[in-house]
Structure 1
Amino acid sequence: MNRKKEMKWMEEIQRDEKRLTIMSEEFRNENTEMNETAQNMQKSESDMQEWYMPGSETGKAQSGSSTTTAEAPGNEHHQKKEKTHKPMTTGRKWASVVAMGLVFGLVAGGTMFGVNMAGNRIAGDSGKTAIPQTQTTSGTASSGSSSSSEGGTVADVAANAMPSLVTISTMSVEEMRSFFGGTQQYEVEGAGTGVIVGENDTELLIATNNHVVEGAQSLSVGFIDEASVEGEIKGTDVNNDLAVVAVKLSDIPDDTMNQIKVATIGDSDDMRLGDQVVAIGNALGYGQSVTSGYISAFDRDLTLTDNNGTTITSTGLIQTDAAINSGNSGGALLNMKGELIGINEAKSSTTSTGASVDNIGFAIPIDKAEASLQDLMTQETRSKVDESEASWLGIRGQDVAAEVTQLYGIPSGVVVEEVVSGGPAEDAGLKQGDIITEFDGRTITSMSQLQDVLTYYAAGEKVDIVVERSGNSGYEEQALTITLGSAADAANAK
């Protein structure tokens, strides 16, 4: 009996050992499978990081609803080969699902970034040309000519273009609320860049961004030999963020005149995705600096915000990975022949969600800017009038917020909150609720801008203005002529 029990126990022990052996084998197989799954996940993650890391061969650039694929020049031999994978077990399929989810998240994030470009900050300044250029003569800025061939080096381009670049230093006055109540005025220095684009009988003409010179009480222009001369704002185009600064030829030393020249104007429409470009500008106000990169995309639209909180919507911009930093605004974007193909305007440092980005800069194509610059170059150059001649409009106004314009379609400009009785505005026919959009041909977007413009006009001058007036069928444009009053009379107005 005991022998039979012993045999039975031995058989049960043997069966248990077989079950343990099978379970152990299954465990080893599952452990191996889990290790392979982890390796596949790491490999998938590594592949994705390689695809999106700077310098990768392929990237997607969005413009509107279209998507363009570009390859970085010189990286053709690094193109990825299509990988084939063996059929996956359930564990591998799970790894595949996780990897696909990560890819979708990255691509979706990229798409969202392409749409949400609202977190941008403003970056702070013979070939075919329609901009007037003069022939080289003694004591006259020479007309630009490119010494670089199609395959010129960055150093060649920089050396050829540097005489056409200037630094722009501004001084403006800002009001800030005092800790003890009321407001206090502060002087604020600014720095930007400009490009010499022409000259007339009495002035050297320099292109820059409007946001570089907007609100400036005074500005100075620095040339290649470090000579600094006072400049005046000749004209501004707020909608296109462009401006022209004029410097009197009589104020420029002869030695400086012999070293500077008018930039050679290129054709931005001839540029291709992936073409190499050079950006030059007064980065951080340290002086001219040179960076190089490639054209990343065309027709970019984005909303910019300046230091005063004013929003500017720029359209049709060139995107480049050449570094464009604060102070580069108004500077030159050049092709490899040394021709001006864009005016540097902005960089993107964060997305609307706060994510940081690198190597995304923007420039206004010269083919888009040229017509506006031509118009600005023909305007009368004005200097600020003496305080004894200061003028007065006779209104109290308020900015039309960008949000209001977008939501309700109300024109951008200065809404007249009150017309002072007996003042110049009332005599000209301005009414409460009118929106001032133009003053003597200049686009008006804010009350501070209108006040600044008035400092260039003397009492008694007649000025044409344009207002938008609300009617039965919406806002209608009205043209009025106003005779500016004396600022001294403002204190006596009711």
Structure 2
Amino acid sequence: MDLMSAGARVSGDPDRHARRRPARFAGAPRAAALCACAALLLGACVDGSAGGRASTAEASATASRGADGGGRTAPLAATDLQTAYEQVIRQVLPSVVQIQGTRALGSGIVYDGQGHIVTNAHVVRDEKSFKVTTAHSQQALRAKLVFAYPDQDLAVVKLDRVPTGLRAASFGDSTSVRVGQIVLAMGSPLGLSSSVTQGIVSATGRTVTESGDGGTGATITDLVQTSAAINPGNSGGALVGLDGKVIGIPTLAATDPDLGGSAAPGIGFAIPSRTVTTIAGQIISSGRVTNSGRAALGISARTVLGRNSEPDGVAVVRVHKGGAADKSGLRAGDTITRVDSTRITTVTSLAEALAHQKPGATVKVTYVRDGHERTARVRLGTM
């Protein structure tokens, strides 16, 4: 496989859910939902005038709306936040669907009025046909795979019949996402269709590698980290801002190796909308991905062990004809030990070294052939 980068190790669909249900949930392991106290969000008004709304709330403590049934009323700012949540859910949830194959269950987002639905590659796996259930109907619709791109864990399926009133989601600009921004995650966690959780954007620009157990094993860059709960079945759904724009597709939840690989609560990741629209657009127009925008050596590789049985390099298993490595003279049997000044010990570390390189950039690759260390200047290609 062509390689990109790695950071945190995350897992896909855990087997424990497969034992309880007829379909395996495609997604990340169970994580605890993060509940944000409304009192901490009083300044998060939808019109952006935090200061003005806060003072209005204090002056209008007896406003009739927001009554809690006990004679007390909620501050206007908190009520406005709840109203914003409800409005976003009404706007976006009809565009979020449940996708079920013979071995997996996950979520998807209606991409356009022609019935194209974007989801994760690990939701569709290697299957070609699916049952799709929309938010307003329990009657399953048939859909077929258009193309799956495991390298960035994205796929597009298309409905055989487009139902009346099918609503396409609106995708926002993920490059403008801010840390601390309130977000909602929508999907079918544990098979519970049309479920919504909430949290914030915890970080941006994350690079993580999926596990091969339930995931594609891909290394994905520029992910949005969120505290919104992401559970099995959420994969392929929508991460949405309060403006109703989809800013990402929830895909992964982190695991803690110190806890035996169990879920790390409140640490989930979403593929940014900019990547989603770029890849999905190519799949819909060309039936495949024509330009991933990611740099690659153009090799298939595996990790090799040294004399101490520790990872000690990356063996080139196959050189893709006409690719970057091929043009630079690398060949099957070479063992890559360094990219520029970065020590390479595993396939993951090689992916990490390439993660933030751009196609066309030139790197110095150090490798071993027939017991002798050599170097090559490699102009990186595209995945």
Name the structure 1 match of 2:119.
208
Q: Are positions 1:369 and 2:276 aligned together?
A: yes
For 1:209 and 1:244, the matched residues in 2 are separated by 8
Name the structure 1 match of 2:108.
194
Name the structure 1 match of 2:225.
319
Name the structure 2 match of 1:238.
150
Partner of residue 341 from structure 1, selected from 232, 247, 259: 247
Amino acid at match of 2:252: A
1:326–1:360 Cα change, 3 Å: same
> RMSD between aligned alpha carbons?
3.7
Q: Are positions 1:247 and 2:138 aligned together?
A: no
Compute the TM-score of the two structures, normalised by the length of structure 1. Answer: 0.44
Q: Secondary structure at the match of 1:277?
A: strand
Matched ranges for 1:373-388 at <5 A: 373-380=280-287
Matched ranges for 1:18-417 at <5 A: 117-121=8-12, 124=26, 153-171=84-102, 189-199=103-113, 203-224=114-135, 225-248=137-160, 251-252=161-162, 256-258=163-165, 260-307=166-213, 310-351=216-257, 354=260, 356=262, 357-380=264-287, 402-403=302-303, 407-408=313-314, 410=316
1:257–1:209 Cα change, 3 Å: same
Question: What residue ranges of structure 1 are gaps of 5+ in the alignment?
Answer: 1-63, 65-114, 126-147, 172-188, 382-398, 415-432, 435-469, 477-494
For 1:367 and 1:406, the matched residues in 2 are separated by 36
Task: Give the number of the structure whose alpha-carbon radius of gyration is greater.
Answer: 1
1:163–1:237 Cα change, 3 Å: same
Higher relative contact order (CA 8 A, sep 6+): 2
1:361–1:272 Cα change, 3 Å: same
Preserved CA contact (<8 Å) 1:295 1:318: yes
Preserved CA contact (<8 Å) 2:153 2:216: no
Amino acid at match of 1:233: L
Displacement of 1:314 in angstroms is 1.2
Displacement of 1:355 in angstroms is 6.4
Amino acid at match of 1:345: T
Bigger fraction of residues in helix: 1
Displacement of 1:379 in angstroms is 3.1
Name the structure 2 match of 1:109.
none
For 2:312 and 2:276, the matched residues in 1 are separated by 25
Q: Secondary structure at the match of 1:374?
A: helix
Amino acid at match of 2:228: A
1:308–1:401 Cα change, 3 Å: farther
Displacement of 1:247 in angstroms is 1.0
Displacement of 1:271 in angstroms is 1.6
Aligned length: 247
Question: What residue ranges of structure 2 are gaps of 5+ in the alignment?
Answer: 14-24, 28-45, 49-80, 289-298, 305-310, 321-331, 334-368, 379-383
Compute the TM-score of the two structures, normalised by the length of structure 2. Answer: 0.56
Preserved CA contact (<8 Å) 1:329 1:345: yes
Preserved CA contact (<8 Å) 1:117 1:351: no
Displacement of 1:159 in angstroms is 1.4
> How high is the sequence identity, in percent, across the aligned residues?
29
Displacement of 1:362 in angstroms is 0.4
